[in-house]
C-alpha cells in the first residue's frame, strides 16, 4: 500500500466519523474496519484498512533507536507524577517489544518498569523485571537495588540480602547508592532475627516427633527459604488417625507468589487443597488477584516438588543425590510424597504449581510423577496435556444476548434444552473458601 492509498483510507475513516458509518462504507464493508471487526483476516498485510493502520513507519530508524525514543517518552510520563506511571510503564513495555540489540538499553527498560511496580506495591513483578535487568547488564546498579527492595517487600529476606550484597560488590565507595544497599542488608538481617523465636518453637515440635518420623521413613531438614518463617507455624498430630497435620506453602515460582495453608492432613489427597484454592471445581474458589490472565485453575495446573532440596536432619537420614523436579498426582497425599527416598521435607512441605503447556513448565524438565500410594512412573502426555481454553467472556455474553434477542435464551426459558429449570449463574463470593494467610511485615 503506497502513501496515497494510506492517505485516502484515513480520509475515508474521517468522513465516516463525520457523516456516519453507513453513509460512507458500502454494505458490510464497515464490519471489516479495524475499529469494528471482531477478528483478524488471514492476510493482514493485504487488508485495506489494517494495512493503513500498520503503515506507520520510522524512516532511518532502527529497533534500538525506536526503543530509545519510547524510553524517553516513558521517562517524561514518569516524571509527571504518579498519575503518569501506568502510561510510562506501557511505553517501556512497548519499547521492549522491539528487537533490541543493545543489552544495556534493554536492562534500563526492565529496571525502569520495576520502579513503577515497586511504587505500586507489586513486588513480584518488580523482582521479575529487576532480575531481567541484571541478566542483561551485570553492572546496572539500580537494578540490584530494585531487586533488593522487591524481595524485601516480599519478606524474602535471604534473596533481598543476596541482591543487596551483589550490588555492593559493583558500587563505588563514594556512591550514595551504597548506603541504600547496606540499609537493605541491615534491615533484612534484623527481620530474619525477629522471626527466629517462633521458628525455633516449630523445630522443637519436629524434634519431639523424631521417633515417629524415623518409623514412617520421613526425612526432614531445615528451611529451604527464609520466607518460610514468616507465618505462625504449628506441627500437629492426630492421635486417632495416627497422622501428622502440616503447615504447607503453595509456591508459584513463575510469578514469584506464595500462598500458605496452616493445617493440612498428611493422608488427605492434595486435590482437596487445590480445589479450595483454585477455581474450576468449587464455586467458592476464585482466581488470585495477581492471575489477571486466569491461567491458574484446577484442570490447568501441575503440582510438583524438588528432590534433595535440603539436607536431612530429623527422622530418616536420606542420602544426598541429584536435585530434580518431580510431578505429583493431584490424588496423591503428603504421605505418598514423604515416603519417597529422594524427598526431604524442607522444614514443612512446599507444593510448587506450574501451568500445563507453559514455557516455564517445559523448562522444568519434569520426567516422573508420584502416584497415589507412592508408586512412581514416567510422565505421560495425558498427565500434562493442557485443557481446552476457557470461552471468551465477550463471546459468551454475545451468545446470551443473541439468544435473548431471538427469544431462546438458555437462562430465561422455563425449560431449557436439557429439560432443566433455567436459572442465572450464582454469583461467586468475594473471598475464597480456604483462608490464605499473608506474610508478616
Same domain as 311, residue 177? no
Quote the CA–CA distance of 154 and 156 in Å, as a whole number.
5
Same domain as 372, residue 234? yes
Domain end call among 384, 410, 429: 384
Cell numbers given for 164: 543487596
Same domain as 240, residue 285? yes
Burial grade of 272 (CB within 10 A; 0-12, 13-18, 19 or more): middle
- Which pLDDT belongs to residue 290? 84
Strands 243-252 and 236-238, sheet pairing: antiparallel
Burial grade of 305 (CB within 10 A; 0-12, 13-18, 19 or more): buried
Same domain as 19, residue 9? yes
Domain end call among 335, 353, 384: 384
Same domain as 326, residue 372? yes
- How many Cβ atoms are within 10 Å of 420's Cβ, its own excluded? 10
Cell numbers given for 258: 506464595
Cell numbers given for 373: 500410594
Which regions of the chain are under pLDDT 70?
1-59, 318, 392-441
Q: Choose among 68, 160, 161: nearest CA to 118.
A: 160
Query: What are 421's strand-pairing partners?
Result: 415
- Which pLDDT belongs to residue 434? 41
Is there a domain that residue 8 lies in?
yes
Same domain as 352, residue 233? yes
- Which pLDDT belongs to residue 292? 82
- Which pLDDT belongs to residue 29? 55
For 183-227, the DSSP string reads HHHHHHHHHHHHTHHHHHHHHHHHHHTHHHHHHHT-EEES-SSGG
Quote the CA–CA distance of 157 and 146 in Å, as a whole number.
14
Quote the CA–CA distance of 163 and 170 in Å, as a whole number.
11
Is there a domain that residue 58 lies in?
no
Query: What are 248's strand-pairing partners?
Result: 261
Greatest pairwise CA separation for the chain in angstroms: 85
Alpha helix (H) residue ranges in 217-345: 270-277, 334-338
Please tell me what DSSP assigns to residue 249: E
Same domain as 341, residue 220? yes
Same domain as 218, residue 186? no
Is there a domain that residue 174 lies in?
yes
- Which pLDDT belongs to residue 420? 45
CATH number at residue 377: 3.10.20.90
Is there a domain that residue 421 lies in?
no
Same domain as 216, residue 110? no
Is there a domain that residue 24 lies in?
yes
Same domain as 313, residue 300? yes
- Which pLDDT belongs to residue 281? 79
CATH number at residue 126: 1.25.40.10
Is there a domain that residue 399 lies in?
no
Quote the CA–CA distance of 278 and 259 in Å, as a whole number.
11
Is there a domain that residue 210 lies in?
yes
Same domain as 141, residue 45? no
Domain end call among 32, 53, 74: 53
Provide the domain limits for residue 81. Answer: 63-194
Number of separate domains in the chain: 3
- Which pLDDT belongs to residue 110? 97
Is there a domain that residue 394 lies in?
no
Same domain as 348, residue 318? yes
Amino acid at each position: 500500500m503506497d502513501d496515497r492509498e494510506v492517505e485516502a483510507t484515513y480520509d475515508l475513516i474521517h468522513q465516516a466519523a463525520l457523516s456516519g458509518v453507513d453513509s460512507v462504507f458500502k454494505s458490510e464493508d464497515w464490519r471489516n474496519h479495524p475499529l469494528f471487526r471482531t477478528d483478524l483476516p488471514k492476510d493482514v498485510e493485504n487488508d485495506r484498512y489494517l494495512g493503513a493502520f500498520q503503515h506507520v513507519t520510522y524512516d532511518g530508524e532502527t529497533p534500538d533507536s525506536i526503543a530509545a525514543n519510547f524510553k524517553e517518552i516513558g521517562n517524561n510520563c514518569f516524571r509527571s507524577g504518579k498519575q503518569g506511571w501506568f502510561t510510562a510503564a506501557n511505553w517501556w513495555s512497548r519499547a521492549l517489544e522491539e528487537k533490541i540489540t543493545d543489552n544495556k538499553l534493554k536492562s534500563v527498560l526492565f529496571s525502569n518498569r520495576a520502579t513503577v511496580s515497586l511504587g505500586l506495591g507489586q513486588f513480584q513483578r518488580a523482582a521479575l523485571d529487576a532480575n531481567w535487568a541484571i541478566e542483561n547488564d551485570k553492572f546496572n546498579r539500580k537494578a540490584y537495588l530494585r531487586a533488593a527492595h522487591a524481595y524485601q517487600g516480599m519478606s524474602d529476606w535471604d534473596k533481598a540480602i543476596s541482591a543487596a550484597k551483589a550490588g555492593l560488590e559493583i558500587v563505588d565507595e563514594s556512591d550514595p547508592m551504597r548506603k541504600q544497599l547496606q540499609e537493605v542488608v541491615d534491615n533484612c538481617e534484623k527481620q530474619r532475627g525477629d522471626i527466629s523465636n517462633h521458628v525455633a518453637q516449630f523445630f522443637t515440635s519436629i524434634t519431639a516427633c523424631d521417633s515417629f518420623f524415623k518409623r514412617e521413613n520421613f526425612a526432614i531438614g531445615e528451611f529451604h527459604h527464609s520466607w518460610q518463617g514468616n507465618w505462625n507455624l504449628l506441627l500437629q498430630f492426630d492421635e486417632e488417625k495416627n497422622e501428622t497435620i502440616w503447615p504447607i506453602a503453595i509456591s508459584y515460582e513463575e510469578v514469584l507468589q506464595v500462598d500458605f495453608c496452616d493445617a493440612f492432613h498428611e493422608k488427605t489427597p492434595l486435590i482437596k487443597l487445590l480445589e479450595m484454592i483454585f477455581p474450576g471445581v468449587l464455586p467458592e474458589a476464585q482466581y488470585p488477584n495477581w492471575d489477571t490472565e486466569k491461567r491458574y485453575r484446577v484442570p490447568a495446573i501441575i503440582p510438583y516438588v524438588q528432590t534433595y532440596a535440603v539436607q536431612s536432619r530429623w527422622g530418616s537420614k536420606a542420602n544426598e543425590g541429584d536435585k530434580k523436579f518431580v510431578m505429583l498426582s493431584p490424588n496423591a497425599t503428603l504421605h505418598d510424597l514423604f515416603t519417597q527416598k529422594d524427598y526431604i521435607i524442607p522444614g514443612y512441605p512446599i507444593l510448587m504449581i506450574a501451568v500445563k503447556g507453559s514455557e516455564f513448565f517445559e523448562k522444568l524438565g519434569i520426567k516422573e510423577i508420584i502416584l497415589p500410594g507412592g508408586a512412581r512412573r514416567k510422565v505421560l502426555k495425558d498427565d500434562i496435556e493442557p485443557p481446552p481454553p476457557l470461552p471468551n467472556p465477550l463471546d459468551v455474553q454475545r451468545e446470551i444476548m443473541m439468544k435473548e434477542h431471538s427469544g431462546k435464551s438458555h437462562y430465561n426459558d422455563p425449560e431449557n434444552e436439557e429439560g432443566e429449570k433455567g436459572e442465572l449463574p450464582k454469583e461467586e463470593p468475594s473471598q475464597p473458601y480456604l483462608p490464605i494467610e499473608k506474610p508478616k511485615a
